[in-house]
C-alpha cells in the first residue's frame, strides 16, 4: 500500500496551496454533527435521489446528525485523493471498485459489523483480503456479462446460450449484420463505453500464468493483441453501429431498446436505462464467451461505501453504514442499480433480465473473474484502455498499435507504482 499512499500524497501540496480544506466531521454552533459523504452519484440522478431518501430516514432516526451527500464532480476520484493526501478524509465515500486495492489504509475495516456474515461468497474475490477483512459495504454487487435484445436474436435464429466461443459469437454477428441490424453497440462520445468493452472481454484471452505475469509487472503485448484483434475484427466486419463516432450513450441504448441492435457490453444498470426508452423491450443477460468456450461473468464493486478510520464522527458513519445494510434499504439500493445484492436475504428482482441472470449466475454457477483493469493493470491505465479501444473502433489504430499503447502505459504506470 505504500506506493498508493505516495501516489495519493503527491496531489496534496498543489491542492493545499490553492484552497484551505475544512476539517470533515464538523459540528455546527447548534451542536449538529455534520458528516461529508462523497457519493460519486450525479446531481438529479435516480441513484442520488434514492440515497437521499434513505439518508433522510436515517437523519430522522438520529436527530442532530446531518449526512452531507456530495454529488459527483467531473473527477470525483481526484476529489477523494486530494482530501486523503491532505489528511482531510471525508467521513464516508463511494469506493468505486477500489475499497481494498486503493483505499484499505484509509478505511475502517467492516468485517465485524452485525451484517458482515451475510456477505455472499461472490464478493470474496472482489472485496476481501485473504483473511476476510473488507472495507466497504457494497450497495449492490456488479455481476456483469453481456446484455442482449432477445427479439433481435430470435429474428436471426441465434440462441445466446449457445454462444460459447468467440467464433460462435462472430457467426451470430454476421447473421445480425445480414439482417440489416447492428451487432455490438458502442458510442464514441463517451470513451468509457469502449473501455468497458475492452475491460469485460480482456480476461477471455489470459491464462493463469499470464495473469500472474501482469501482477508481477510483465505485460505481454502478444496476448493483449489477441484481445485487440477481436475488437478490430468487429470494426473491420462492420459489426459496430455506423454512427459510433457521434453516438452518445442514449443513442446506443435507444438502438438496443428499439430492436435495432443485438449486444451491449455493459453492466446491468444499463438494462434499466434501456427500458426507459421502450418499456416493452425484451432484454436478456448472458455469460461472456471465450476462445476456449469456458464462459465467465465479471464481478466487482459498483456502488460501495466505506468510512474513514480517522473520522471524528466515525461511530456515526459506521451507524449510517449499518442503516444502509438493513434489508429494506438494501432492497431499494439494488433496485436502483438493477444489480444483485452483495448480502444474502435481500429480495432482488432484476426486471427484464432476471430469469436469464438467474440461469447463468445461480443455476449454472458460471465462473467469475474480477474486473480486468482493477486487478491486473496498475492504477492510472483506465484512460489508456478507453482511448486505445476507441482508436481501433474509429480506425485510427490497428490491434498491434492498441497493444503497443497498452504496453507502453503499463510500463510507465508500473514504474510509478513501484516508486
> Residue 355: inside a domain, yes or no?
no
Residue 151 confidence (pLDDT) above 70: yes
The DSSP result for 55-91, as a single string, is HHHHHHHSTTEEEEEE---TTHHHHHHHHHHTT---S
Residue 7 confidence (pLDDT) above 90: no
Question: Are 72 and 165 part of one and the same domain?
Answer: no
Per-residue cell: 293: 468456450
Q: Residue 122: beta bridge partners?
A: none
Per-residue cell: 379: 492504477
At residue 74 the predicted structure's pLDDT band, cuts being 50, 70 and 90, is low
Question: Are 36 and 48 part of one and the same domain?
Answer: yes
259-280 mean pLDDT: 94
> Residue 385: inside a domain, yes or no?
yes
* Measured distance CA(107)–CA(134) in Å, rounded: 9
Question: Are 102 and 154 part of one and the same domain?
Answer: no
At residue 102 the predicted structure's pLDDT band, cuts being 50, 70 and 90, is confident
> Residue 320: inside a domain, yes or no?
yes
Residue 253 confidence (pLDDT) above 90: yes
Ranges 68-77, 199-208, 347-356: which has the least confidence:
68-77
Instruction: Identify the pLDDT of residue 407.
Output: 98
The angle that helices 46-61 and 314-324 make with each other, rounded to 10 degrees, is: 120
* Measured distance CA(190)–CA(234) in Å, rounded: 19
Question: Are 152 and 209 part of one and the same domain?
Answer: yes
Question: Strand order of the sheet with strand 261-264?
Answer: 182-184, 261-264, 146-149, 283-286
Ranges 44-53, 290-299, 309-318: which has the least confidence:
44-53
Question: Are 323 and 372 part of one and the same domain?
Answer: no
> Residue 345: inside a domain, yes or no?
no
At residue 171 the predicted structure's pLDDT band, cuts being 50, 70 and 90, is very high
> Residue 346: inside a domain, yes or no?
no
Residue 2 confidence (pLDDT) above 50: no
Question: Are 151 and 117 part of one and the same domain?
Answer: no
Instruction: Identify the pLDDT of residue 162.
Output: 98
Question: Are 290 and 312 part of one and the same domain?
Answer: no
Residues 6+ apart with CB under 8 A from 129: 100, 104
CATH code for the domain in which residue 217 is found: 3.40.190.10
Instruction: Identify the pLDDT of residue 43.
Output: 87
At residue 27 the predicted structure's pLDDT band, cuts being 50, 70 and 90, is low
Residue 10 confidence (pLDDT) above 60: no
Instruction: Identify the pLDDT of residue 418.
Output: 83
CA separation (Å) from 379 to 170, 363, 402? 32, 35, 18
Residue 367 confidence (pLDDT) above 60: yes
297-303 mean pLDDT: 85
Question: Are 201 and 277 part of one and the same domain?
Answer: yes
> Residue 351: inside a domain, yes or no?
no
> Residue 80: inside a domain, yes or no?
yes
Question: Are 61 and 157 part of one and the same domain?
Answer: no
Instruction: Identify the pLDDT of residue 28.
Output: 52
Domain boundary among 284, 318, 338: 338
The DSSP result for 84-117, as a single string, is HHTT---SEEE-TT-TTTTTTTTB---TTSTTGG
Which of 23-32, 343-352, 396-405 has the highest average model confidence (pLDDT)?
396-405
Identify the sign of the CA torsion 320, 326, 331, 337: positive
49-64 mean pLDDT: 96
259 compared with 350, residue with greater pLDDT: 259
> Residue 350: inside a domain, yes or no?
no
State phi, psi for 300 to the nearest 5 degrees: 175, 175
Domain that holds residue 34: 2-135+303-338
Question: Are 129 and 160 part of one and the same domain?
Answer: no
Question: Are 101 and 186 part of one and the same domain?
Answer: no
Query: Which DSSP category does 10 fall into?
Result: T
200-218 mean pLDDT: 95
Per-residue cell: 161: 446460450
Instruction: Identify the pLDDT of residue 153.
Output: 98
Q: What is the pTM assigned to this prediction?
A: 0.82
Number of domains in the chain: 2
Question: Are 196 and 330 part of one and the same domain?
Answer: no
**Contact of 170 with 233, CB cutoff 8 Å:** yes
Instruction: Identify the pLDDT of residue 25.
Output: 57
Find the helix or strand (DSSP H, E) in which 286 lies. Answer: strand 283-286
Amino acid at each position: 500500500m505504500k506506493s498508493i499512499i505516495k501516489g495519493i500524497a503527491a496531489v496534496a501540496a498543489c491542492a493545499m496551496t490553492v484552497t484551505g480544506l475544512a476539517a470533515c466531521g464538523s459540528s455546527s454552533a447548534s451542536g449538529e454533527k455534520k458528516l461529508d459523504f462523497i457519493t460519486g452519484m450525479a446531481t438529479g440522478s435516480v441513484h442520488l435521489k434514492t440515497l437521499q431518501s434513505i439518508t433522510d430516514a436515517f437523519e430522522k432516526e438520529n436527530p442532530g446528525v446531518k449526512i452531507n451527500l456530495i454529488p459527483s464532480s467531473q473527477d470525483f476520484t481526484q476529489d477523494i485523493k486530494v482530501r486523503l493526501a491532505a489528511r482531510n478524509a471525508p467521513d464516508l465515500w463511494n469506493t468505486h471498485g477500489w475499497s481494498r486495492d486503493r483505499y484499505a489504509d484509509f478505511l475502517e475495516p467492516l468485517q465485524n459489523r452485525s451484517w458482515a456474515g451475510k456477505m455472499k461468497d461472490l464478493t470474496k474475490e472482489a472485496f476481501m483480503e485473504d483473511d476476510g477483512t473488507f472495507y466497504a459495504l457494497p450497495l449492490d454487487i456488479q455481476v456483469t456479462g453481456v446484455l442482449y435484445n432477445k427479439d433481435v436474436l430470435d429474428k436471426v435464429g441465434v440462441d445466446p446460450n449457445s454462444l460459447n466461443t468467440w467464433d460462435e459469437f462472430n457467426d451470430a454477428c454476421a447473421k445480425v449484420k445480414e439482417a440489416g441490424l447492428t451487432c455490438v453497440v458502442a458510442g464514441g462520445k463517451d470513451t468509457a463505453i469502449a473501455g468497458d468493452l475492452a475491460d469485460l472481454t480482456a480476461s477471455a484471452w489470459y491464462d493463469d500464468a499470464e495473469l500472474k505475469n501482469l501482477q508481477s509487472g510483465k505485460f505481454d503485448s502478444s496476448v493483449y493483441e489477441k484481445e485487440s484483434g477481436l475488437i478490430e475484427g468487429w470494426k473491420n466486419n462492420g459489426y459496430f453501429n455506423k454512427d459510433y463516432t457521434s453516438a452518445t450513450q442514449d443513442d446506443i441504448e435507444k438502438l438496443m431498446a428499439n430492436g435495432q441492435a443485438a449486444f451491449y457490453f455493459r453492466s446491468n444498470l444499463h438494462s434499466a436505462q434501456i427500458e426507459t426508452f421502450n418499456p416493452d423491450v425484451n432484454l436478456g443477460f448472458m455469460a461472456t464467451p471465450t476462445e476456449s468456450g469456458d464462459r465467465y461473468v465479471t464481478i466487482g464493486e459498483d456502488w460501495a461505501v466505506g468510512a474513514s478510520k480517522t473520522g471524528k464522527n466515525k461511530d456515526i458513519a459506521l451507524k449510517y453504514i449499518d442503516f444502509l445494510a438493513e434489508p429494506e434499504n438494501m432492497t431499494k439500493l439494488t433496485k436502483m442499480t438493477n444489480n444483485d445484492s452483495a448480502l444474502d436475504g435481500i429480495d432482488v428482482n432484476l426486471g427484464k433480465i432476471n430469469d436469464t441472470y438467474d440461469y447463468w449466475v445461480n443455476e449454472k454457477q458460471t465462473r467469475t473473474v474480477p474486473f480486468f483493469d482493477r486487478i491486473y493493470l496498475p492504477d492510472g491505465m483506465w484512460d489508456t484502455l478507453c482511448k486505445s479501444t476507441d482508436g481501433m473502433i474509429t480506425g485510427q489504430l490497428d490491434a498491434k498499435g492498441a497493444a503497443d499503447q497498452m504496453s507502453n502505459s503499463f510500463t510507465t504506470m508500473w514504474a510509478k507504482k513501484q516508486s
